[in-house]
C-alpha cells in the first residue's frame, strides 16, 4: 500500500529561484542525494538551504519527503505545512500543494492518527478533483479506512465499496462489509465479502466475517443451506488460519448444519485448549451427544457442570443423554436440578415422563 509515494518526482517544476546565499551546487547536491535514496544526507542539505533561504518552498517540501522516506512520520507535517503556505503565495497552481496534503495525510494514517489524517486527505482529493488530475487510489483507501476507524461509516462506505478486482480493493471491501455487518445488513455483508474474496481468496478476515454473516442469517431464516455454506467458508479459512477462532467457526457452523460428527473435532480442540471454559465443554458435549457418542458426551457435560454448576443447557443435554441411555434415575435427578434453577414447565413435563419410565419394571 502507498507504493506510489516511492515515485514522487523531484520538484523540478517547482524550482523557485534560490537567493545568492543559497548556492546552486548545494541544491544540486541535495537533490542528488535524494534521488540516490540517501535521505539523511539529503535532509541535511535541504535544511542548510532553508537556513539560507527560509522562503524556499521546494526545500521545505523535500524536507517533508525525506522525513517520510525515513519513516519519521511525526516529523512530516511541519515542513510540509510550511511548503504549502509558501506555495500558496508563490505558486498557487502548483501540483505540489496537493502532493504535500497527501503526504501529510498518509503520515497521520500510518501513525494510526485517523482523526488528523482526514482533513489533509480530503484536501488532496478536492484539489485533484478540481484540477481534473488522477487521484491516487491510496488516498481514497486511507481516507475510507480512517473514517471506518472513527466510526464515520456513512462517509467511509463510498470510498471503500469500489468493485475493481485489485487486492487493495478486496481489502477495502472487507471494511465495507464490516460496516454492513455492524448494521446487521447480512445480505450486503455477504455479497460484499464474496466480491472481496474474488480479489484475494485467502483473505482470512474476509473468510472469518463471511462465515459469521452466513451463520447469523441462517439463525434468522432457519435456512439449512446457509449453515453448510458457512462451514465451507470455515474450511477455506482453516487452510490459511488454523487457530481456535477458526475451530469455533467450524464447530458452530457444523452444529447449525446438523453435521454433528464434523462438529466434534473443532469443539474438542477448543475444550482441551481451554480446560476451564465451560462453554467450550458444553459445545463439545452437545456435538458428542447429537452424534451418538453418549459415553464421551456424558464426560464432557459432567465437566461442564463442574465448571458451571447451574448451566441449564448443560443440565438438559446431560439429562437427555442419560435418558437416551435408559439411565432414568440419573436423568431424573439432573432434570430436577435444572427445574430447580428455572421452574420451566417444559422441564416439569420431562421430569414426569422420566419418572414414569423409571417406575416401569
Q: Residue 111 and residue 131: Cα distance in Å, rounded? A: 29
pLDDT band at 23 (very low <50, low <70, confident <90, very high): low
Query: To which CATH superfamily is domain 271-361 assigned?
Result: Tetratricopeptide repeat domain (1.25.40.10)
SS3 of the chain: helix, strand, coil, percent, to 5: 80, 0, 20
| Range with the poorest average pLDDT among 61-65, 100-104, 355-359 | 355-359
Q: Where does the chain hold its CATH 1.25.40.10 domain(s)? A: 1-160, 180-258, 271-361
Q: Which three cell numbers stand for residue 212?
A: 459469521
Predicted confidence (pLDDT) per residue in 196-239, tens digit: 999 899 999 999 999 999 999 999 999 999 999 999 999 999 99
Q: Residue 253 and residue 233: Cα distance in Å, rounded? A: 9
CATH number belonging to domain 1-160: 1.25.40.10
Contacts of 112 (CB under 8 A, 6+ apart): 149
DSSP E strand stretches across the chain: none
Q: Is the pLDDT at 10 greater than 50, yes or no?
A: no
Residues of the chain with pLDDT > 70, as a percent, come to 92
CATH number belonging to domain 180-258: 1.25.40.10
* Mean of pLDDT values over 340-357: 93
Rounded to an integer, what is the distance from CA 12 to the centroid of its chain?
41
Amino acid at each position: 500500500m502507498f507504493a506510489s509515494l516511492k515515485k514522487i518526482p523531484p520538484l523540478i517544476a517547482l524550482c523557485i529561484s534560490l537567493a545568492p546565499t543559497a548556492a546552486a551546487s548545494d541544491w544540486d547536491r541535495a537533490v542528488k542525494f535524494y534521488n540516490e535514496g540517501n535521505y539523511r544526507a539529503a535532509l541535511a542539505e535541504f535544511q542548510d538551504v532553508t537556513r539560507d533561504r527560509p522562503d524556499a518552498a521546494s526545500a521545505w517540501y523535500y524536507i517533508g519527503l525525506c522525513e517520510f522516506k525515513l519513516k519519521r512520520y511525526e516529523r512530516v507535517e511541519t515542513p510540509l505545512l510550511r511548503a504549502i503556505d509558501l506555495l500558496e503565495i508563490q505558486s498557487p497552481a502548483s501540483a505540489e500543494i496537493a502532493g504535500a496534503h497527501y503526504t501529510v495525510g498518509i503520515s497521520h494514517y500510518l501513525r494510526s492518527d485517523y482523526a488528523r489524517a482526514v482533513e489533509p486527505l480530503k484536501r488532496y482529493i478536492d484539489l485533484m478533483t478540481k484540477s481534473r488530475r488522477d487521484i491516487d487510489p491510496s488516498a481514497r483507501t486511507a481516507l475510507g479506512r480512517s473514517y471506518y476507524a472513527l466510526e464515520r461509516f456513512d462517509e467511509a462506505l463510498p470510498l471503500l465499496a469500489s468493485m475493481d478486482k485489485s487486492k487493495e480493493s478486496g481489502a477495502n471491501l472487507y471494511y465495507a462489509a464490516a460496516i454492513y455487518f455492524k448494521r446487521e445488513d447480512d445480505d450486503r455483508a455477504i455479497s460484499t465479502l464474496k466480491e472481496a474474496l474474488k480479489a484475494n481468496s485467502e483473505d482470512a478476515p474476509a473468510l472469518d466475517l463471511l462465515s459469521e454473516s452466513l451463520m447469523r442469517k441462517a439463525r434468522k431464516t432457519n435456512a439449512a443451506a446457509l449453515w453448510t455454506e458457512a462451514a465451507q467458508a470455515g474450511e477455506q479459512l482453516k487452510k490459511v488460519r488454523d487457530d481456535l477462532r477458526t475451530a469455533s467457526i467450524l464447530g458452530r457452523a457444523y452444529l447449525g448444519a446438523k453435521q454433528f460428527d464434523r462438529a466434534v473435532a473443532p469443539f474438542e480442540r477448543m475444550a482441551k485448549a481451554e480446560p476451564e471454559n465451560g462453554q467450550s465443554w458444553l459445545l463439545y458435549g452437545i456435538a458428542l451427544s447429537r452424534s451418538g457418542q453418549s459415553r464421551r458426551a456424558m464426560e464432557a457435560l459432567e465437566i461442564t457442570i463442574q465448571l458451571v454448576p447451574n448451566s441449564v443447557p448443560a443440565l438438559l443435554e446431560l439429562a437427555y443423554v442419560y435418558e437416551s441411555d435408559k439411565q432414568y434415575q440419573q436423568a431424573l435427578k439432573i432434570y430436577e436440578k435444572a427445574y430447580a434453577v428455572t421452574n420451566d414447565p417444559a422441564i416439569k413435563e420431562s421430569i414426569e415422563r422420566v419418572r414414569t419410565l423409571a417406575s416401569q419394571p
